[in-house]
Amino acid sequence: MGNRVSRDDFDWVYTDEPHASRRREILAKYPEIKSLMKPDPNLIWIIIMMVLAQLVTFYLVKDLDWKWVIFWAYAFGSCVNHSMTLAIHEISHNSAFGHSKAIRNRWLGIFANFPIGVPYSVTFKRYHMDHHRYLGNDGIDVDIPTNFEGWFFCTTFRKFMWVVLQPLFYAFRPLFINPKPVSNLEILNTVAQISFDIIIYYVWGIKSLFYMLSATLLGLGLHPISGHFIAEHYMFLKGQETYSYYGPLNLLTFNVGYHNEHHDFPNIPGKSLPLVRKIAAEYYDNLPHYNSWIKVLYDFVTDETISPYSRMKRYPKGKVTLE
């Protein structure tokens, strides 16, 4: 089962998250950064092309042997579907049409959701805003693992399995940490997605449907791009809550690796985050960062000091705790 990790709880802190204060300080010094807070219309066309690319692939795999369906699901489909989840991340910040046309972003998100196979976009938006407003807050930020995850996935082998099963934990964790009433848009997202899945099955058959769903499961699990799940906020260094990644996979992920920059300026589309770093270099260049998501995954699994418990966690404001 591998060596057992040394952590047995989260790193509870009583300080505010660092991003709001750094944002104020940077804007005071570099007000020109405000000019980057505008929609990225190119995002719309990129998403349309990605959906069309997957539709072509659904057609191409429909008559392949199963071994090749699985191969292409991991080699190609997983990259596209994971990239699409990060396009949906961009859309959740209204980066395609802007805040004044928020509903158009929701429609685009539902469209972008189609190749993923599982309804995701609208629900992600609702919880992701909490992640930005209440970073690390107990019972609110569902990006934080559950106590069960921290307790159970405590050996090298179990951490490896936790990485493989990440999409399942991200899907079901909100139901245990912070369940919310189902919204009308979530119902629409679900109905539209199930209808799309049925059409794919009816038109091209089970192999195309399997390719779509397995590409999502594989792409969000043990996959190089999935390193961003751990790289963003898992505490490899004491006291450092958010980490950026400046490697080449940013080209496939809408610069989600620029994660300190993103949390500092969530209204700036991913394409402009490198400019934020360039303008305010003295605030970012000296922060700990990564250049390899694969190494992040390897270190997470093998390092005995790192586990799902390696997150900074806060009590919600107003909640009194007794030590």
pLDDT digits (tens, 9 = 90+) for 1-25: 567 777 789 999 999 999 999 999 9
pTM of this structure: 0.94
Q: Is the pLDDT of residue 319 over 80?
A: no
Q: Is the pLDDT of residue 263 over 90?
A: yes
Contacts of range 67-74, beta carbons closer than 8 Å, 24 or more positions apart: 69/207, 69/210, 69/211, 69/214, 70/214, 72/211, 73/210, 73/211, 73/214, 73/215, 73/218, 74/214, 74/215, 74/218, 74/219, 74/223
pLDDT of residue 321: 45
The pLDDT mean for the chain works out to: 95
pLDDT digits (tens, 9 = 90+) for 57-104: 999 999 999 999 999 999 999 999 999 999 999 999 999 999 999 999
pLDDT of residue 1: 59
HEC string of 245-273?
A: ECCHHHHHCCCCCCHHHHHHCCCCCHHHH
Rounded distance, CA 87 to CA 256, Å?
A: 10
pLDDT digits (tens, 9 = 90+) for 281-295: 999 999 999 999 999
Classified as helix, coil or strand, 320 is: coil
CB 156 within 8 A of CB 2: yes
pLDDT band at 109 (very low <50, low <70, confident <90, very high): very high
pLDDT of residue 318: 58
Average pLDDT of span 293-316? 95
pLDDT of residue 320: 45
Q: Is the pLDDT of residue 143 over 90?
A: yes
Q: Is the pLDDT of residue 219 over 80?
A: yes
DSSP secondary structure code for residue 137 in this structure: B
Rounded distance, CA 135 to CA 270, Å?
A: 19
Rounded distance, CA 147 to CA 98, Å?
A: 37
Across 145-167, b (16+ Cβ under 10 Å) vs e yields beeebbeebbbeebbbebbebbb
Average pLDDT of span 181-206? 97
DSSP assignment string, 273-299: HHHHHHHTHHHHTTS-EES-HHHHHHH
Give me the percent of the chain exceeding a pLDDT of 70: 98
pLDDT of residue 78: 97
Rounded distance, CA 120 to CA 248, Å?
A: 26
Which residues are bridge partners to 289 per DSSP?
Answer: 244
